[in-house]
Amino acid sequence: MADIIQLLPDHVANQIAAGEVVQRPASVVKELLENAIDAAADHIQLIIKDAGKTLVQVVDNGTGMSTTDARISFERHATSKIRVAEDLFHLHTKGFRGEALASIAAIAQVEMTTRREEDEVATRIKIEGSDFIDQDVVAAPVGTSVLVKNLFYNIPARRNFLKSDNVELRHIIDEFHRVALAHPAIRFDLFSNGSELFKLPSSNIRQRIVNILGGKTNEKLVPVEEETEVVHVKGFVGKPEFARKTRGEQFFFVNDRFVKNSYLHHAVTAAFEGLLKDKTHPSYFLFLEIDPESIDINIHPTKTEVKFDDEHSLYAILRSAIKHSLGQFNVAPVLDFDRDANLDTPYDYRSQQANMPAIEVDADFNPFREESAQSGSRAGRESYRSTSKSSGSWESLYVGAKNPDDFATIELESEEVSGQLFDEKEISSQNTVTYQLNRKYIVSTIKSGMVIIDQHRAHQRILYEEFLKNMTLKKGISQQLLFPLELNLSSTELSLLNELKESLENTGFAFSASGSDRLQVTGIPANVGESEAGMVLEQLLSDFQNEIPDAAYSQADKLAKTLCKTLAVRSGEPMNDAEQQSLVNNLFATKEPSVTPFNRPTFITMTVEEIDKKFI
């Protein structure tokens, strides 16, 4: 029998490695930015086109490479970071495996231009699909420029799996943020399709956070710092009142490398125990400096997962450091039974003596004594006159109204109850009896037996078709806000909201711009409460950033699904008889009453025969 095991060709092995390292354009961005940082650059430019599908270019002013190094850098496992296996436990750089450039060159058209300071000319190398195309000598500044064109051009199946441009751009910006936050001393620029998205100057950590997430972020941050023999923790956490419904602004950095660790995340949430509202998540930007020998980052191709030698100590230190910061800055309540904050002396008055108040008492004053000319002092008479005068002020309101019938024509303003789940005109006058079971299901009778309706799912279907109809016909009803709602958004969120602005206005929202990182909501749909508007828009941005639902749906459809999911009546909310009847009638008036917009059943039926069988 012939031998069947053979070595894979280099180009096939490179494509397999690329499948682990390069999952989308954001993976290329991450690898190239980290290479630029390892090259000691202090100014890095990222240029992308069509969300990285057509072009990803990173330009840095680092040390550059010689001609030989530039050529070898595209070989598999070619690296300048390690020499022996023991070096894996003394890593202070980003890349060390030597797979990035080889993997990228296997699935794209790559052009590299690099020059060292001691060289007079630069070297330009072109590679397509692991095949060496050309090498030239060109004029270029000191540093390196890497162009990655037409990603996955030779693997169409992988290209088809890429999401829409908005989603891929979101992933690129996320990677850009992670790298920029970890290195505030480096200048970063990001350009997309010719437009400048970010221009981050060299700064400290706090200023870098503010430059990325907006000016209002500064007031939300609480500094955290703790230095021990195990770890040095520094960074910031967000104040509990600014916690969000989504997990957007959560960053862990270990030795200036972004990582994901659910165990450490639990330590942060444990520190916020009792301070957060239900189903909200805190923001944090935490930097951990640990001895490289006590961690292992060589367990995942993207190096975002790490293992620690002593996770329990890290958990305790991180939790206590955050709790200490929240208490130190009076964010968390202080457990001190002998201290009354109302009695604290302000700083300006600590060195001053207290002045005793002067009190004057009229010993002859008696409010129950009637005025007489013969008794009482002048002070007492004056006090009584003032009292009599004040009482006469309200008595004068009823002058000329001695007859009780005079009040028959007075009309009092009725106290109108607003914000009902269903309008009165929607409530049917039918005599069908409904019953709410466990504050979750609506039970109603039908000819063949009974129907059990999930109130949350049924309301989703009703709202979905209503929003979709309003966006299609552009007839959304809006209620104007007396006091506009101001939203503080990052530049990415603001650009995304501008894309959805027309569809949102068709549902009833109204906006007015109020700054580069702020947006005012001046009107909301009629069936959206004022207190819910901010939550709805926050959930909407989160869903669109993460492409929920799938990209195959239209923008209006995705928008309607997010709105109905957020605004539908929840399980556990009580509903009166009129609201139950309205829900049943509106559900069966929709086009697809049997399923939700997410293809889940809204109701089940039980016939009399099925009920009879239960008693056999």
Q: Can you tell me the distance from the alpha carbon of 25 to that of 9, in angstroms, rounded to the nearest whole number?
A: 25
Identity of residue 182: A
Whether residue 63 has pLDDT greater than 80: yes
Closest CA to 458 of 438, 441, 436: 441
Mean per-residue pLDDT for 304-327? 86
Whether residue 472 has pLDDT greater than 90: no
Closest CA to 484 of 527, 534, 420: 534
Percent of the chain with pLDDT over 90: 30
Mean per-residue pLDDT for 476-505? 80
pLDDT higher for 12 or 116?
Answer: 116
pLDDT of residue 355: 77
Closest CA to 422 of 586, 559, 593: 586
Whether residue 121 has pLDDT greater than 70: yes
Residue 121 DSSP class? S
Residue 275 DSSP class? T
Give the tens place of pLDDT for each residue, 45-58: 999 999 999 999 99
pLDDT of residue 84: 59
Give the tens place of pLDDT for each residue, 214-257: 877 888 899 999 998 889 999 999 998 888 877 778 899 988 88
pLDDT of residue 376: 47
CB-based burial label for 583 (10 Å; 0-12, 13-18, 19+): buried
Give the tens place of pLDDT for each residue, 364-382: 887 777 655 444 445 444 5
pLDDT higher for 214 or 415?
Answer: 214
> Average pLDDT, whole number, for the chain?
80
Domains of the chain: 10-200 (3.30.565.10), 211-328 (3.30.230.10), 424-605 (3.30.1370.100)
pLDDT of residue 288: 92
Whether residue 413 has pLDDT greater than 60: no
pTM of the model: 0.67
Instruction: Work out the pLDDT band at 408, boundaries 50, 70, 90.
Output: low
pLDDT higher for 214 or 574?
Answer: 574
Whether residue 119 has pLDDT greater than 60: yes
Residue 417: Cβ within 10 Å count: 6
CA atoms within 13 A on the CB side of 454: 16
pLDDT higher for 546 or 202?
Answer: 202
pLDDT of residue 350: 61
pLDDT of residue 353: 74
pLDDT of residue 90: 55
Reading the block at residue 117, the tokens are 């300071």
Closest CA to 250 of 273, 227, 267: 267
